[in-house]
Structure 1
Amino acid sequence: MIEEKTQETDKPPERRRRRIPAARARCLGPLSDLESHVAPDWWSRIFNSYYMKTDGDVVDDLAITRKEDDLFTSVLGLKKEEVVLDLCCGQGRHSLELARRGFTRVEGLDRSHYLIQRAKAQAAKEGLPVKFREGDARKLPYPPDQFDVVMILGNSFGYFESSKDDLLVLKEVARVLKPWGRILLDLADGEYLRAHYVPRSWEWIDAKHFVCRERALSADRQRLISREVIVHTEKGVEVDQFYAERLYTPELIRSLLEEAGFQEVSFHGSLTPDSARGQDLGMMERRILVSARIRKEWAPVKSRKKNVSTQVAVVMGDPSKPDPLKPFMVFDDDDLYTIDRLKAALKECTGYSFTYLSRHETLIQDLMRLKGKVDYVFNLCDEGFFNDPRKELHVPALLEMLGIPYTGATPQGLAFCYDKSLVRGVAKEMGVPVPRAFFIDPTSIVFEVPFGFPMIVKPNLGDSSFGITQKSVVWSLDELSACISEIRDTFGYEKPVLVEEFLTGKDLTVGIIGNPTDDYMVLPIVEEDYSALPPELPRICGYEAKWLPDSPYWKALRSIPAGLPEETEKSIVEWCVRLFERLECRDYARFDWRCDADGNPYLLEVNPNPGWCWDGHLAKMARLAGMEYPRMLEAILKAAEKRLGIRS
């Protein structure tokens, strides 16, 4: 006996410990008051391996996650280049599924160490580019203006004892969102659960475990208190745990979002998961989907001079002034959103510090003050000085008089290309094909028609498709006369009108970034896809497609790779490069072409300093070349720096 005891005590300590039976979890038995047993920080310890058992029929079901992500991406209009935070992400089921779908800029944050480690392991196993980290949603470990979208999904909102903490979460979300960023909340339907919660239930959660649940409303009826007793068939009670969730109604969550600074609060119906167990769904039984947008200024950034090599002033249109090209002559929300998308993209360009100038009353003084303090001006004032399109050339002229280098076309180049007839003349002189056309001066009442219909009627002076609508394509003399009258009366245009033969082939756009013949890139040629447009409408990309969201053109048109024959593409590119030089374009330009029924291309317009917006034709072509919006802007800057001899 002594010898046997000595042998037992000589065993390594870890082997001795295995013989000690695990202590059973303490079960509290019947309780009359569940609320008093809920710890203030219950959420810091409950999300563990047991959670994956009790809620696994929903949160560990890939089919449910895919269906939910279909809904969420649709509601948000989520784009793959957007930066997304999956807040309170759990084991990252939604983040990982987005990554599987090609979203490459997704992050997840959760308080649970167990769930975050599980998420990291799954991301590593599948090779998915999702960043996961632990953290408290009330104090997010991110600087301001980092994300386009923050999602709080799977009923992960309303865990704290006080709604003030929920408000802190929303304020933190507002802080880390970029201007015009969106939040999406998927949370319990408080009204429904308050009326329909199940006081007691039990169900099997695997072959050896079952869970018994009790629920009751809190004393103030604002939270649903839940108790879960998890029992192993052989070992007995393993867990007796309590948690609570605030029951938000649509009115309360709207109020909380607005208090946190959000606008455009929208509700998108309710959702109920299809549980494989088909039993007690608890807080997940009925959820509401809420989105909102944050409008705010960019947070001031303290530039680190040692990391900034290039100082750039960005000159833009003046949002406080009328703009005659816009539908209601004002900068609307879409315009302001576009400006903020630009600022967000430029923020991603490393090695730069940007100053924005958009107040035209003081523009001259502001530029004089910055002379010598900036390396050059990024001229994005395509609206023109004081938003007058005929004064677009005044901005580079002013910069030349002040001796400040700038991006984009010369004043002469802008003057050339503002006049469509002049561009036609230059192109014909160079041997570049143009459609047949004739000119109607403002006083003409009677005119000759030198070729047959159909024709397209355009203001000879202008850009941004000003004056070009579905009525611009005409099929008779009566329609031609009516269209000319509309351009003069409706659009207030009193300058010459250009009438061209209407070509029915592919509608093409060519983009160039750089400066021929030294160093330039021709972007993939795109064509307008009119297949979704109602057949009775003419196939043009005019004013309605660019400015009127309610028009069928806005909704139907999309740009696709052109797929041209090799010889045709080669000819178009050669002509564009020659026109770029001849018309004094610089750094970037866009060229519009149209093919006839036989596939022969004809030049329509040359656009120096073309639209720089995130969803414009230049950005679409750049994306096809593998350049996201920030990289496109950076390429324009680099082209100007090389031309100017500025070392970045």
Structure 2
Amino acid sequence: MKTKVPLKKGTTERAGKTMGPVKNLEYHLHPEWWKRIFNATYLKTDADVVEDENITRSEINLFHELLDIREGNSLLDLACGQGRHLLELSQRGNYQLFGLDRSRYLTQRAKSIARKKGVAINFKEGDARKLPYANDSFDFVTILGNSFGYFETAEDDVKILREVFRVLKPGGRLLMDVADGSFLRENYTPRSWEWIDKKHFVCRERSLATDNERLISREVVTNTEKGVIVDQFYAERLYTREILADLTGKVGFKDLAFHGNLEVASLRNQDLGMMANRFILTATAKKEWSPKRKKKDIKNVVVLMGDPGLKDVIKPYAVFDTDDFETIEKLKVGLSKLGNYKFSYLNNHSSLIADLQKIRDKTDLVFNLCDEGFGNDAKKELHIPALLEMMHLPYTGSNPQTLAYCYDKSLIRGIATEIGVPVANAFVITAEDNLFELNIPFPVIAKPNFGDSSFGITQKNVANTIEELADAILRIREQFGYDKPILVEEFLTGAEVSVGIIGNPDNYTVLPIIEEDYSELPEGLPKICGYEAKWLTDSPYMQTLRSIRASLPVALEQELINHSLKLFQRLDCKDYCRFDWRLNSQDEPKMLEVNPNPGWCWDGHLAKMSSIGGMDYTQMLEAILNAADTRYHPINEPQLS
């Protein structure tokens, strides 16, 4: 059982359990330990090296000289962590810098630091055994800080080297700094402990694996006030110069050279473990340029949209109006700028099935922008991707199951809670419930449990008394039906923010977080971004609300992103999604809604996030199309000559 312990704003630390003495460290080692260990605790335990700017600066001085990096060169740092080497390198010249790491926590931290420093570095979360980059992309690839040898088998390490060879340009160079396996096999410390700051200490145990090829380590990290935080096991393969030279040579690298050993001058200078003594290897990718791909054929994309000839109850007058047609026109203008695609449009739902059958064999991708739902019925939004799947047509956006989940606010709350994502306090009222028997903390907001586009959510839904809540529930029932459930949620008073993601796991972009600015809203109106802000032009909400870049502490921003990515994966979202959050009075984030296939219009939240991030409307649309195209046709699949 783990107990949550409050810390400073935007951070949490959990007290945990320890197993006590164990006889065999290897027995407790998880085969994919590397998925779990590289987090905030890692930055504490290894801070004497990985957070020391002087050490990083010294290492980059050496690596920069060994590689002779020139202006305009491209470099990929594998297992880049929080990006310390790339951030330092960015100060040395005008380079094209890329970083990839398996740890979501560390890559998000790297992105945040780079953005705050105003540095252009492309950080990605991904698996080094299957790199999301095209052949012949980089002048240099580095694997630094002993970030090699984590897997159970050496064959996985060979996969990394093969991928490095593939993405290097002909004549491109690899640089690795790796723990000296010969030294560690004879000189590792079986047991140690050290203070890592005034409140934390770590105890370590180490032993050789049964095959004598890996060093198994155990770390028990303890907070002096809260007890054990984590009891974790990890392992690293002990590579000698001879073995690593043999592996790189078999992959195809030439001109292998070793450049002495790297010893770290840590200020703490207690237990350096695997970082204590590392050797440096450089090698060259002697190969021919990969055969060029045949010129891309222009892809035929069918854009599916709502039906302007049908009633749409979500719109103010239940019909497509001038603003809707202007929005569609701006979409078409934006898409017309994409030279790799040819677009056609379908919006007649009465003939949709027949129309799709006619063009099925000529369609490369369907751009599913029918967020109105089949027949402009929001409950039937999932029918569109279901139809496309039955017709075996590839399409953008989330699948029917994901759309069904996210239409049900209460269900999403349950899923979020299950995976540790915080939600606002709330309860569901059904037709049988007697409101006056319920213990309700005020203020609250009543919402239709099923719904989209803030339909049914206005300033009148915010209640400060039992009478106001009863009125709000009555209005919702009259609008949506007495048999429909209603979600009553605590009304949070902190910042209202949204996190946008374009892409898919291992190849995604988190857009800048935006916040709703209520500073110009007239006094006395509740601060909500509901139906009035999105649809009613004469409303003070639409006239005064603005979406601005959120100004959040780094730790809070990372927490929001991490939670959003957990939901993205758990709900199996595809290509793009928006997550709406609100902070409580203690600035703790609470998830409000998940919006798969969020609004695509030129002035919507996703477009605003994209614009803040330097991506115009056309580029945003292209990014969604590319995300779907890459999902169906991964960019690192074998290339045909």
TM-score normalised per structure 1: 0.52
Contact preservation (8 Å) 1:393, 1:414:
yes
CA distance in structure 2 between the aligned counterparts of 1:351 and 1:525, rounded to whole angstroms: 30
SS in 1 for 2:362: coil
Please state how far the C-alpha of 1:491 moved relative to its aligned partner: 5.0
Please state how far the C-alpha of 1:350 moved relative to its aligned partner: 1.5
Please state how far the C-alpha of 1:493 moved relative to its aligned partner: 6.7
Please state how far the C-alpha of 1:494 moved relative to its aligned partner: 4.2
Q: Give the aligned partner of residue 352 of structure 1.
A: 341
Q: Give the aligned partner of residue 153 of structure 2.
A: none
Q: Give the aligned partner of residue 386 of structure 1.
A: 375
In structure 2, give the amino acid aligned to 1:370: I
Change (3 A) 1:646 1:360: farther
CA distance in structure 2 between the aligned counterparts of 1:560 and 1:405, rounded to whole angstroms: 35
622, 626, 631: which one pairs with 2:619?
A: 631
Please state how far the C-alpha of 1:441 moved relative to its aligned partner: 0.6
Please state how far the C-alpha of 1:452 moved relative to its aligned partner: 1.3
Q: Within the alignment, does 1:538 sit opposite 2:554 as a pair?
A: no
Q: Within the alignment, does 1:525 sit opposite 2:513 as a pair?
A: yes
Change (3 A) 1:320 1:598: same
Contact preservation (8 Å) 1:513, 1:522:
yes
Q: Within the alignment, does 1:436 sit opposite 2:425 as a pair?
A: yes
Q: Give the aligned partner of residue 353 of structure 2.
A: 364
Q: Give the aligned partner of residue 561 of structure 1.
A: 549
609, 619, 624: which one pairs with 1:621?
A: 609
Please state how far the C-alpha of 1:443 moved relative to its aligned partner: 3.7
Q: Give the aligned partner of residue 548 of structure 1.
A: 536
Contact preservation (8 Å) 1:513, 1:587:
yes
Q: Within the alignment, does 1:406 sit opposite 2:395 as a pair?
A: yes
Q: Give the aligned partner of residue 226 of structure 1.
A: none
CA distance in structure 1 between the aligned counterparts of 2:575 and 2:404, rounded to whole angstroms: 17
Q: Give the aligned partner of residue 571 of structure 1.
A: 559
CA displacement 1:319-356 (0-9 Å, x = unmatched): 00000111111001101110111001000111110010
CA distance in structure 2 between the aligned counterparts of 1:558 and 1:339, rounded to whole angstroms: 22
SS in 2 for 1:395: helix
Unaligned regions of 5+ residues in structure 1, if any?
1-305
615, 631, 641: which one pairs with 1:643?
A: 631
Q: Within the alignment, does 1:610 sit opposite 2:605 as a pair?
A: no
Contact preservation (8 Å) 1:440, 1:498:
yes
Please state how far the C-alpha of 1:444 moved relative to its aligned partner: 3.1
1:168-567 superposed matches below 5 A: 309-490=298-479, 492=481, 494-516=483-505, 518-567=506-555
CA displacement 1:38-82 (0-9 Å, x = unmatched): xxxxxxxxxxxxxxxxxxxxxxxxxxxxxxxxxxxxxxxxxxxxx
CA distance in structure 2 between the aligned counterparts of 1:491 and 1:416, rounded to whole angstroms: 19
Please state how far the C-alpha of 1:583 moved relative to its aligned partner: 0.8
SS in 2 for 1:468: coil
SS in 2 for 1:372: helix
CA distance in structure 1 between the aligned counterparts of 2:492 and 2:338, rounded to whole angstroms: 41
CA displacement 1:510-568 (0-9 Å, x = unmatched): 1000002x100000001000000001100000000000000000000000111111111
- Give the % identical residues: 58
CA distance in structure 1 between the aligned counterparts of 2:595 and 2:312, rounded to whole angstroms: 19
Please state how far the C-alpha of 1:487 moved relative to its aligned partner: 1.1
In structure 2, give the amino acid aligned to 1:503: L
CA displacement 1:95-154 (0-9 Å, x = unmatched): xxxxxxxxxxxxxxxxxxxxxxxxxxxxxxxxxxxxxxxxxxxxxxxxxxxxxxxxxxxx
Please state how far the C-alpha of 1:309 moved relative to its aligned partner: 1.5
Choose 1 or 2 for highest CA Rg. Answer: 1
Please state how far the C-alpha of 1:608 moved relative to its aligned partner: 0.2
SS in 2 for 1:371: helix
CA distance in structure 1 between the aligned counterparts of 2:482 and 2:382, rounded to whole angstroms: 20
CA displacement 1:155-189 (0-9 Å, x = unmatched): xxxxxxxxxxxxxxxxxxxxxxxxxxxxxxxxxxx
In structure 1, give the amino acid aligned to 2:379: R
SS in 2 for 1:488: helix
SS in 1 for 2:361: coil
Contact preservation (8 Å) 1:459, 1:493:
no
Change (3 A) 1:594 1:447: same
* Corresponding residue pairs, total: 343
SS in 1 for 2:320: coil
Change (3 A) 1:411 1:493: farther
CA distance in structure 2 between the aligned counterparts of 1:445 and 1:326, rounded to whole angstroms: 32
Contact preservation (8 Å) 1:440, 1:447:
no
In structure 2, give the amino acid aligned to 1:463: D
CA distance in structure 1 between the aligned counterparts of 2:436 and 2:369, rounded to whole angstroms: 39
Q: Give the aligned partner of residue 34 of structure 2.
A: none
SS in 1 for 2:489: strand
CA displacement 1:186-221 (0-9 Å, x = unmatched): xxxxxxxxxxxxxxxxxxxxxxxxxxxxxxxxxxxx
Q: Give the aligned partner of residue 581 of structure 2.
A: 593
TM-score normalised per structure 2: 0.52
CA distance in structure 2 between the aligned counterparts of 1:446 and 1:531, rounded to whole angstroms: 34
Contact preservation (8 Å) 2:581, 2:589:
yes
Contact preservation (8 Å) 1:385, 1:392:
yes
The higher-RCO structure (CA 8 Å, 6+ apart) is 2
SS in 2 for 1:397: helix
1:156-167 superposed matches below 5 A: none
SS in 2 for 1:456: strand
Q: After the TM superposition, which segments of 4 or more aligned residues of structure 1 sit over 2 Å from their partners?
A: 442-451, 490-494
Q: Give the aligned partner of residue 581 of structure 1.
A: 569
CA distance in structure 1 between the aligned counterparts of 2:420 and 2:466, rounded to whole angstroms: 31
CA distance in structure 1 between the aligned counterparts of 2:588 and 2:358, rounded to whole angstroms: 52
Unaligned regions of 5+ residues in structure 2, if any?
1-294
CA distance in structure 2 between the aligned counterparts of 1:494 and 1:329, rounded to whole angstroms: 23
Change (3 A) 1:326 1:492: farther
In structure 2, give the amino acid aligned to 1:485: L
CA distance in structure 2 between the aligned counterparts of 1:623 and 1:380, rounded to whole angstroms: 20
Change (3 A) 1:397 1:493: farther
Contact preservation (8 Å) 1:314, 1:378:
yes
CA distance in structure 2 between the aligned counterparts of 1:505 and 1:494, rounded to whole angstroms: 33
Q: Give the aligned partner of residue 270 of structure 2.
A: none
Please state how far the C-alpha of 1:447 moved relative to its aligned partner: 4.7
Contact preservation (8 Å) 1:503, 1:597:
yes
SS in 2 for 1:591: strand
In structure 2, give the amino acid aligned to 1:519: N
Contact preservation (8 Å) 2:435, 2:470:
no
> RMSD of the alignment, in Å?
1.7
Contact preservation (8 Å) 1:587, 1:636:
yes
Please state how far the C-alpha of 1:646 moved relative to its aligned partner: 7.1
Contact preservation (8 Å) 2:493, 2:583:
yes
CA distance in structure 1 between the aligned counterparts of 2:481 and 2:330, rounded to whole angstroms: 32
CA distance in structure 2 between the aligned counterparts of 1:360 and 1:342, rounded to whole angstroms: 19
